[in-house]
């Protein structure tokens, strides 16, 4: 008989984006290692990005418990007359009206740790009836939103169940919090809650060596490193990237472009290098792109002709864009958390065998992975001269990649085995 583990996650299909992929894949592979996952997720969440195609990846054998949630975004949306009212999106606006400023202040100072905090108490009450009888050997919470960890903390305190807390991003040191008009008192509350979680969780997981080091310092404890990865099953049958042509350069970026992922220095370097070149350049940004970046492109005659914004597409459709790419662009965050920023997309890029040009910290965790695997190069965001050098080298067919065997360590199944080993080390079993 497989042992059962309860996974508490806000992000689950039809949610799209990187937040859902990690635990969707762990749920897929955990049964191969003797663990039966059960998902606990909101019934009516307010997702900013949706990808219904991901629901096809959910096994018919997987038990998914959906529980109602109330979130304040709907109320704010009604007051603004708009459907989407996430404070993160409001912060990207050039100007905010008084209602929007008030909403951001409330998000910063009254909804701690986040707007999903109203789900904590009812979820704990509901789950106690499942956890107390011993239906599960372990429980896992994944954040952000970090309210999920407060559910795990309460279940641990009330039942003693083996609890793993997974940090996909930092908490009190998270760069997003720095954008909010937060008082010092509220910041201390975040720090207090974070330390309680780090103290009471049996094991703590995170995605990068830098975050591992930072959380270890905050909690004064061991932190387990479980990176993201790629799933070979995601690569379509017959996937065959195009061969590089001498007179064209197709560059593809997939994912979100927002206030902390800025492609403008890259676009400026691209224009300077190729505006008068006989090489035909095409840059495609697949996904949600900020209004500021769109405006920057549309206001430039040359860029508006070579840059395309097809919008958000399903995860399956992303591979159609990969297949046409000569070079994959990865824009890492340019913030205080940048060194530990390893997006799941990095591993998927690597799995295609297409060279990667990343803008980010050359000494960061993503740079180390790219360098060691031979998958591409990392250049500082504002180093226009170096960006041009790499683009020139690649357009002249002087840049190629040779992926080593170590890439296999980042397959989702291999990574899931590490997770299963941590679950197996439960001293209570």
Q: What is the 3-state secondary structure (H, E, C) of 79-129?
A: HHCCCCCCHHHHHCCCCCCHHHHHHHHHHHHCCCCCHHHHHHHHHHHHHHH
**Quick one: average pLDDT of 124-128?**
97
Whether the pLDDT of residue 77 is over 80: the answer is no
CA-nearest of 328, 322, 413 to 366 is 328
32 contacts: CB under 8 Å, gap ≥ 6: 413, 416
Among 54-63, 89-98, 191-200, the range scoring the smallest mean pLDDT is: 89-98
What percentage of the chain reaches a pLDDT higher than 70?
Answer: 91
Domains of the chain (ranges, CATH numbers): 3-72+111-229+412-424 (3.40.50.2000), 232-410 (3.40.50.2000)
Please give the torsion angle defined by the CA atoms of residues 113, 118, 121 and 125, in that order, rounded to the nearest 10 degrees.
-140
- The pLDDT > 90 percentage for the chain reads 62
CA distance 36 to 45: 24
Highest mean pLDDT among 268-272, 316-320, 354-358 belongs to 268-272
Q: What is the mean pLDDT of residues 50-76?
A: 87
**Residues found in the chain:** 429
Instruction: Examine the pLDDT at 85 and tell me if it is beyond 90.
Output: no
Largest CA distance in the chain: 71
Strand bridging mode 162-167 / 138-143: parallel
Lowest-pLDDT range, 105-114, 207-216, 236-245? 236-245
Q: What is the DSSP string of 389-416?
A: HHHHHHHTT-------GGGGGGBHHHHH
Please identify which residue in the block is written with the tokens 């400023």. 101
- At 399 the pLDDT is 56
The pLDDT value recorded for residue 179 is: 83
Distance CA 79, CA 100 (A): 10
User: Which position has the higher pLDDT, 241 or 172?
Assistant: 172
Using 50, 70 and 90 to split pLDDT, how confident is the model at 74?
low
- Reported confidence tier of residue 180, pLDDT bands at 50, 70, 90: confident
């Amino acid at each position: 008989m497989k042992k059962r583990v309860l996974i508490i996650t806000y992000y689950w299909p039809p949610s799209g984006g990187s937040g859902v992929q990690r635990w969707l894949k762990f749920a897929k592979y955990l049964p191969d290692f003797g663990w039966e996952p059960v998902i606990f997720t909101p019934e009516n969440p307010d997702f900013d990005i949706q990808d219904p195609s991901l629901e096809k990846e959910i096994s018919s054998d997987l038990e998914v418990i959906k529980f109602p949630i109330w979130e304040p975004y709907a109320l704010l949306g009604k007051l603004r007359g708009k459907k989407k009212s996430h404070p993160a999106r409001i912060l990207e606006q050039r100007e905010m009206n008084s209602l929007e400023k008030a909403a951001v202040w409330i998000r910063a100072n009254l909804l701690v740790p986040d707007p999903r905090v109203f789900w904590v108490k009812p979820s704990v009450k509901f789950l106690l009836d499942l956890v107390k009888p011993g239906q599960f050997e372990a429980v896992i919470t994944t954040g952000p939103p970090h309210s999920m960890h407060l559910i795990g903390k309460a279940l641990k305190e009330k039942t003693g169940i083996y609890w793993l807390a997974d940090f996909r991003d930092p908490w009190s040191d998270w760069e997003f919090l720095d954008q909010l008009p937060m008082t010092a008192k509220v910041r201390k509350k975040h720090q207090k809650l974070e330390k309680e979680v780090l103290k009471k969780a049996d094991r703590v997981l995170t995605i990068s060596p830098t975050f591992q080091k930072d959380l270890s310092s905050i909690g004064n404890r061991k932190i387990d490193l479980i990176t993201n990865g790629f799933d070979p099953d995601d690569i379509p049958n017959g996937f065959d990237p195009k061969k590089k042509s001498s007179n064209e350069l197709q560059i593809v970026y997939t994912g979100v472009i927002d206030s902390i992922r800025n492609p403008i220095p890259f676009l400026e370097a691209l224009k300077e290098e190729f505006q008068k070149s006989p090489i035909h350049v095409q840059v495609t940004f697949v996904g949600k792109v900020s209004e500021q970046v769109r405006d920057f492109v549309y206001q430039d005659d040359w860029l508006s002709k070579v840059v395309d914004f097809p919008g958000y597409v399903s995860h399956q459709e992303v591979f159609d864009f990969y297949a046409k790419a000569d070079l994959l662009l990865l824009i890492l965050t340019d913030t205080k958390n940048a060194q530990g920023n390893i997006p799941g997309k990095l591993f998927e890029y690597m799995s295609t065998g297409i060279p990667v040009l990343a803008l980010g910290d050359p000494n960061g965790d993503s740079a180390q992975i790219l360098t060691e695997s031979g998958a591409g190069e990392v250049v500082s965001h504002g180093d226009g001269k170096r960006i041009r050098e790499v683009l020139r080298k690649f357009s002249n067919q002087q840049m190629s990649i040779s992926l080593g065997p170590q890439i296999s360590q980042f397959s989702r199944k291999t990574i899931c085995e590490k997770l299963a080993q941590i679950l197996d080390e439960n001293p209570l079993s």
